[in-house]
Structure 1
Amino acid sequence: MSRFAIRPATAADLPALAQIYQKARAFMAATGNPRQWGTTNPPWETLEQDIARGQLFVLCAGGTPHAAFALVPGADPTYAVIEGDWKSDAPYAAIHRLASDGTRRGVFAAVLAFAAARQPHLRIDTHADNHVMQTLIARAGFGYCGIIRLADGSPRLAYERLPANI
């Protein structure tokens, strides 16, 4: 059983989300990845849209949010073109905007368990400078598939984890 309660984020969580993402950006910069999110990503509007769509979640301990992530079901336009090969074209969900305030361990494992329970075929991407996330992704059984490009053309390393039945 996870030590976290995971629930859909609400507009009331936006102040806590702002703090979580600020701390995550600072951690990323301190670990050699200052460019992935810079000082302003993800944009406030993106978080509001994720909340409205019911795809942004918070991980809480003792009722306090300590991490957040988007679980986006269905075909992701960012993943439509890859410099490489996806392992499967079966339906999947993508994990995006994963961030932690750094005060709790086990966040990635909890997110992965939550996501896989809803859609076992998962995709995720990260910046080439995000070595911390690359290590977590590899340890979780994701395979590297190639490079995808964000809407602005920025490259990201793309990974996929298949369920046993595909």
Structure 2
Amino acid sequence: MTIRNAEPKDAARILEIIESAKLSIRALGIDQWQNGYPNMESVLSDIENGIGRVLEENGEILAAAAVYVGNEPTYDRIYDGAWLTGNNTYGIIHRIAVAPEGKNRGAASAMMKYCAALSREAGVSSLRCDTHPGNVIMRHTLEKNGYRFCGTIYLEDGSTRVGYEKTI
């Protein structure tokens, strides 16, 4: 498996993977990603901003995510807990999605390891991520990869998410 920057030619495949992930999330009975987001606009924005990544195996894209080092404004406040660090800059993974044929093959974990390596290279000492409280699959993946539950955050639209952080 290799991870590379996403290119405009990858956009349709990335959106296909995201749409499949939306179905899986809907099957969990939760509303995450059920309002039209992420969409082609967000995929193209990630590519344009240089944060879109794809994981390939034998030339086939199996996973995609927005991976970068920076600051997420919705992480500025956390409730019913605390971040592990007071860092203002950290590694971030958003919009991670794995194709059905990539599931249970370590694709999501590989993307998280890539984010950790990117973060180390940038000189930051932690990674943050969030997900819907009911997204048990993502929560398990985060915990399996050394992330710790830190508390509740709220998105700009008021949606509740659970925040995770990992020190590196």
Task: Give the SS at the match of 1:42.
Answer: coil
TM-score by length of 1: 0.90
The answer to whether the 8 Å contact 2:63/2:108 transfers is no
CA shift for structure 1 position 10: 1.1
1:128 maps onto 2:138 in alignment: no
The number of aligned residues is 159
* Distance in structure 2 (CA, Å) of the matches to 1:66 and 1:20: 8
Could you list the structure 1 runs, at least 4 aligned residues long, displaced by more than 3 angstroms after superposition: none
CA shift for structure 1 position 43: 2.6
1:24 maps onto 2:29 in alignment: no
TM-score by length of 2: 0.89
CA shift for structure 1 position 158: 0.2
Q: Runs of 5+ in structure 2 lacking a partner?
A: 121-125
Task: Give the SS at the match of 1:157.
Answer: strand
Q: 1:101 to 1:39 in 2, by over 3 A?
A: farther
Give the share of equivalent positions with the same residue, in percent: 35
CA shift for structure 1 position 40: 2.2
* Distance in structure 1 (CA, Å) of the matches to 2:9 and 2:30: 28
1:1-166 matches, cutoff 5 A: 4-30=1-27, 32-38=28-34, 40-83=36-79, 84-90=81-87, 91-104=89-102, 105-120=105-120, 121-163=126-168
Residues 7-49 of structure 1: CA deviation (Å, up to 9, x unaligned)? 111111111011101111111222x144101162203222111
The answer to whether the 8 Å contact 1:25/1:34 transfers is no
Q: What is the RMSD of the two structures over their aligned residues, measured on CA atoms? A: 1.3
